[in-house]
Structure 1
């Protein structure tokens, strides 16, 4: 499964396709398939018509859930039921492009945390990698564990650094081995007539459902975790010795929590942030490989072994 292609040959100067322009633009370090999947969803009927028409009803449902949670703060707490509902909904209604982006997100999130861990040696961090390759894998509390992973990682990392009187520093040689450079081996997703919902519409619909089936404490914690994108970006800046990628981050100021009513949109931006950061790390990994190859060629003194330039 891949998103439908954007054909440059279809360009009409009198009626330029805005989605084609964004697809061809390379100002952001986005994976090509992920970008095509996101843009294909953006120009779909569901995103352009169903989502705006549904937002008032989603908001009312969200308000009712919040009122309910003022009274019943811990009941119901049914993460397994929640994940089964998410699995069923994605399998039944989500576009293949939406499912691609969702499964990619857990994999690239795991790689970003593993990259930080690999470049901060001497600190013990318990890992719980998430590598869903099928929609069935999501039923194993994947969404909830994703939120727990980020908080546990930050606590264990900083607790270890404080105990040693250290800070995150740029290593002599950055270890890019945790960052993969290729497609993830994901399953072929359902693509029937009823698989029409784009990723943002799915996220907006599921946000109040998430709030209903998790305790109030767990939902608020999950919503606030979205603002930790900035924190992860700062860790990466200290490792890379550059803050260029900070301009790619949209979720900020985690110590000033935003309203949980904004969680749906911020979740979309969280996915956007993760894709951009992962893409940036992939670019740097490729650059390091080229520099290593060039250094090896120069040492051998054989011009024929010099690598071609990689964009």
Structure 2
């Protein structure tokens, strides 16, 4: 037996609006202060309002952080380079397919595509253009190819590659005369194609909290530390994009702590969720600028393009 298809309207949209008991999820869905497509916002809030997140996450989060501490102690007694990335990714794909909600799986797969497009946007519009290594998994099984580890490596290697090119040519990032948005597109992933078995109930945040200790256990300390601190590059990537767009006011959408101040890995699960949401919002913002450029109109980031 399978769950009802996720294409049905979420509960907060199908219930009548009661002014004496308004739904916070409906308020967040209708709010247009953050640039997210309705489809993405619906999936995000459906996942966030699930029973799993409400009742399971408060118990999982402290346990997950305790295991991170215990695994860190255990790894003192194993060889420094001990790691099983292949087995880790096999397990992650297995867990996602069997226990994680369709909305969460869809958002996770989207993240690789959107992140790759954002890096390509920056690399191609830089005054010293640099190549990127796009990650575009078509399904959950594609994640087995060390996809999570590659994603973290991509971020740091891109920052190094971009800034080496700028420094070597004595250039600084700036808005180009014509911005190339050709790489910005919808990934083509469908929510209804995600696994929808009876056990696919786990929300995004709970899944991330559960998987983070395994990530720490089965990678080297260096890989895990780098993965956790790659989240602090959100501000860096946001600054790059805002500079190219000449729109620094949009940095308010990115807030994952200062990149020069490494944080404890204990809160990596929560910060990973912020990372995913920041990527969605930045990609949506780029889509709005792309549409405005195509239509020759000014961009209004709260409601889309408007007449210039």
Q: Same fold (TM over 0.5)?
A: yes
Verify: 1:105 aligned to 2:111, yes or no.
yes
Q: Is this contact kept in 2: 1:3–1:97, CA < 8 A?
A: no
Q: Which residue, out of 26, 29, 33, partners 1:23?
A: 29
1:20-72 CA-partner distances (Å, limit 9, x unpaired): 11111111001222211111111111100011122232222111111112333
Q: Is this contact kept in 1: 2:127–2:166, CA < 8 A?
A: no
Give the Cα separation in 2 of the matches to 1:43 and 1:73.
Answer: 42
Q: Which residue, out of 165, 175, 178, partners 1:160?
A: 165
Structure 1 portions without partners, runs of 5+ = 294-307
Verify: 1:63 aligned to 2:69, yes or no.
yes
Tell me the number of residue pairs that the alignment of Structure 1 and Structure 2 aligns. Answer: 294
**Secondary structure of 1:7 counterpart:** helix
Give the Cα separation in 1 of the matches to 2:183 and 2:233.
Answer: 21
Question: Per-residue deviation at 1:195?
Answer: 0.5
Q: Is this contact kept in 1: 2:61–2:206, CA < 8 A?
A: no
Give the Cα separation in 2 of the matches to 1:309 and 1:199.
Answer: 35
Query: Equivalent residue for 2:228?
Result: 223
State the superposition RMSD in angstroms: 1.9
Give the Cα separation in 1 of the matches to 2:306 and 2:61.
Answer: 48
Q: Which residue, out of 264, 267, 276, partners 2:281?
A: 276
Give the Cα separation in 1 of the matches to 2:104 and 2:117.
Answer: 20
Structure 2 portions without partners, runs of 5+ = 1-5, 299-304
Report which of the two structures shows the higher radius of gyration computed on alpha carbons.
1
Q: Which residue, out of 199, 202, 215, partners 1:197?
A: 202
Give the Cα separation in 1 of the matches to 2:190 and 2:167.
Answer: 39
Give the Cα separation in 2 of the matches to 1:260 and 1:54.
Answer: 16
1:180-238 CA-partner distances (Å, limit 9, x unpaired): 1x462347011121100000100011111100000000000110100000001111121
Give the Cα separation in 2 of the matches to 1:48 and 1:230.
Answer: 29
Give the Cα separation in 2 of the matches to 1:131 and 1:248.
Answer: 24
Q: Is this contact kept in 1: 2:297–2:306, CA < 8 A?
A: no
Question: Per-residue deviation at 1:253?
Answer: 1.1
Query: Equivalent residue for 1:256?
Result: 261
Query: Equivalent residue for 1:88?
Result: 94
